[in-house]
Amino acid sequence: MRGLGQRYRHLKRYQEIARVLLKYGFSELVDQLELASYLSLSRRLLRREAIERPHLTAPERIRLAIEELGPTFIKFGQIMSTRPDLIPPAYIAELEKLQDTVAPAPWEAIKQEIEEELGAPLDEVFASLETEPVAAASLAQVHHATLPGGEDVVVKVQRPNIEGIIETDLEILFDLARLLQERTPLGELYDLPEITEDFAVTLRAEMDYRREGRNADRFRRNFADEEYLYIPQVYWDYTTRRVIVFERISGIKIDDIEALDAAGFDRHQIALNCARIIVKEILIDGFFHADPHPGNFFVMDGEIIGAMDFGLVGHLSQRLKEDLVRLFIVAVRLDSEGIVEQLIRMSAAQRRVDREGLRRDLERLLTKYQGLPLKEIRAQEVVNEIMPVAYRHHLRLPTDLWLLGKTLGMMEGVGLKLDPDFDIFAVSQPYVDQFVRQMTSPRAWGQKLLKGTTDWGELFTSLPRRIPRILDQVEEGEVEISLKIKEIDRSLSKLDRIANRLSVSILVAAFIVGLALLLPTFIGNQVVWIIVPAGFAFVAASILGLWLVYSVWRAGRR
């Protein structure tokens, strides 16, 4: 009933989704999602329109449909483009092309949004604010401004009413995920509602600009001792949930090679700085910028890199970093079996995975790079070749690792433009060696031992309180012990058949021996009706005995 009420409340949006899906030829999906009944337009006309697009592949049609469905679905598609464990490679490549540029919102609506958030008229807050945005996306747009103190800033403001649109679409996505979970084979492999919940958490966090400001402050602290990265200041007095004000930085876009050469920048040094940033983020901080496209990075004087847009970030725990380094080590050794074991330890591969098939696929992948120097191996190429293997064997690496793979690929692309001969592995090797030493140092082992000792101490401390409760539950019959032995039914069935065969064998043997002892007595008797049945019984028992011997021999051969 709740689902029906939700669908009635968002009827217009359900109709829009159904029309777009039919428009791009996904009528079967419309039927599975029970959207056909909400259509007011003839499905026949929509199907005809879809047929007129024979030149479009299924991934292209998916991308166009997502772009037409608006910001929530575009963001969902962009997140899914980082999940090759869920999406086939051809769809990944197409989803990466999703465009998030739209026409700017009317200035009066943006002005009202800023004034409501900051609680004052614009002329009291800013010395000046440009009405034309310098960038406009589906969730927000950016304007240049000047503060009363003369500081040049950029103002990022959410589009009016976008939160209501997002929440409506999220409710619909949960509903559609539930139906897909119940009615498609995907539900047997993945928890689609949980995937949708993860996306909802990520999107809602990205829409809170206070969180983006905290991310920027954390990056600034992490790189406080490094001169090659500049993080703009956040003006917290002008920052709310829907508006954030950053220091305006100027420079040349990091992929504008002609402008960099004209300004006399050292491209090799810029590439080196990029590599140092990403390696430090991964191995030292465990906190990285997960949207490093060239529009978010500028080259400033002294080959310093200025960063922007901190809404999407990735996190790597100490354990995940250690797993990543171990995976890197066994991969460099071309140890396919070691990779499989490490993936299982990371819970990326299920224990019932086809180990031999996975090992064989990894062996083929590693063979391609055997003998190549590390500087000739491209991270993006490796990620692209891992994607089909991950999808085929349902490898479930943490989302942050897929984000990291995408980040490495984007940064590598920038680095190759800056310096085609640049070797990121040579830069990262000292950091990897340092991290391995830290992993195996007495201090690291001591911390793990201390944590284990603390856990055992807590257990023994809590036992005196827990044991009486456990005993009371046992006495009251509230504790049940369930033992499940794999294939127990099949084993019991075999045992039952063996016992039956043994019983029959004993009975037949006794029958044969008994008849053999009685036959001489019958033969001395001249009564035919006694001799003939006894003879037939002896022959039948003998035949049955031979059949049992044959069946035992045949079962032994099987």
Q: pLDDT tens digits for 151-161?
A: 999 999 999 98
Within 10 Å of residue 434's Cβ, how many Cβ atoms?
Answer: 12
Q: Is residue 198 flagged as an active site residue?
A: no
The pLDDT value recorded for residue 284 is 85
* Residues 462 and 536 grouped into a single domain: no
* Residues 266 and 391 grouped into a single domain: yes
* Residues 453 and 436 grouped into a single domain: no
d(CA 138, CA 159): 8
Q: Which residues of the chain have pLDDT under 70?
A: 1-8, 36-54, 351, 372-377, 379-380, 438-463, 465-466, 469, 472-497, 499-505, 507-538, 541, 545, 547-558
Within 10 Å of residue 18's Cβ, how many Cβ atoms?
Answer: 25
- Phi, psi of 352, deg, nearest 5: -90, 15
The single residue of 291, 309, 323, 361 carrying the catalytic annotation is: 291
Within 10 Å of residue 324's Cβ, how many Cβ atoms?
Answer: 20
pTM: 0.70
Give 286's DSSP letter.
S
What residues does 155 pair with on adjacent strands?
Answer: 143, 245
Q: In this structure, is residue 547 part of a structural domain?
A: yes
* Residues 179 and 275 grouped into a single domain: no
Q: What six digits make up the tokens of 356?
A: 């031999």
Angle of CA points 485, 489, 490, to nearest 5° = 105
For residue 244, what is the enclosing H or E element? strand 243-247
d(CA 444, CA 49): 63
The pLDDT value recorded for residue 2 is 46
The pLDDT value recorded for residue 4 is 55
Angle between helices 318-332 and 424-439 (to 10 degrees): 120
For residue 40, what is the enclosing H or E element? none
Of 423, 440, 457, which residue constitutes the final position of a domain?
A: 440
* Residues 27 and 83 grouped into a single domain: yes
Q: Are 414 and 254 in contact (CB under 8 A)?
A: yes
Q: Are 13 and 168 in contact (CB under 8 A)?
A: yes
Q: In this structure, is residue 154 part of a structural domain?
A: no
Question: Is beta strand 135-136 parallel, antiparallel or unpaired with respect to 140-146?
Answer: antiparallel
The pLDDT value recorded for residue 243 is 96
Q: In this structure, is residue 492 part of a structural domain?
A: no
Question: Is beta strand 229-230 parallel, antiparallel or unpaired with respect to 313-315?
Answer: unpaired
Q: In this structure, is residue 487 part of a structural domain?
A: no
The pLDDT value recorded for residue 80 is 84
Q: Please give the full DSSP string across 285-326, using - where no structure is assigned.
A: ISEEES---GGGEEEEGGGEEEE---SSEEE--HHHHHHHHH
Measured in whole angstroms, the distance separating CA 515 from the mean position of its chain's CA atoms is 75
* Residues 318 and 424 grouped into a single domain: yes
**Where does 282-398 have alpha helices with state H?**
318-332, 336-345, 355-369, 379-392
* Residues 346 and 422 grouped into a single domain: yes
* Residues 423 and 321 grouped into a single domain: yes
Q: In this structure, is residue 342 part of a structural domain?
A: yes
* Residues 262 and 294 grouped into a single domain: yes
Within 10 Å of residue 556's Cβ, how many Cβ atoms?
Answer: 7
Model confidence pLDDT, tens digit, residues 401-434: 777 777 777 777 777 788 887 777 777 777 777 7
> Number of folded domains in the chain?
4
Within 10 Å of residue 249's Cβ, how many Cβ atoms?
Answer: 17
Give 303's DSSP letter.
G
Q: In this structure, is residue 196 part of a structural domain?
A: yes
List of residues 6+ apart from 195 with CB closer than 8 A: 86, 177
The pLDDT value recorded for residue 496 is 66
Q: Could you list the residue range(s) of the whole structural domain that residue 468 is in?
A: 448-478
- Phi, psi of 286, deg, nearest 5: 65, 30
d(CA 170, CA 163): 10
- Phi, psi of 156, deg, nearest 5: -105, 120
- Reference 403, options 421, 385, 383, 429; nearest CA is 383
The pLDDT value recorded for residue 466 is 66
CA distances from residue 124 to 44, 106, 127, 234 in whole angstroms, order as listed: 57, 21, 8, 19
Q: In this structure, is residue 41 part of a structural domain?
A: yes
* Residues 429 and 463 grouped into a single domain: no
Within 10 Å of residue 360's Cβ, how many Cβ atoms?
Answer: 12
Measured in whole angstroms, the distance separating CA 154 from the mean position of its chain's CA atoms is 33
For residue 146, what is the enclosing H or E element? strand 140-146
* Residues 69 and 197 grouped into a single domain: yes
Q: In this structure, is residue 159 part of a structural domain?
A: no
Where b means 16+ CB within 10 Å and e means fewer, 159-168 reads bbebeebbeb
Q: Which residue has the tokens 């029958």?
A: 511
* Residues 378 and 459 grouped into a single domain: no
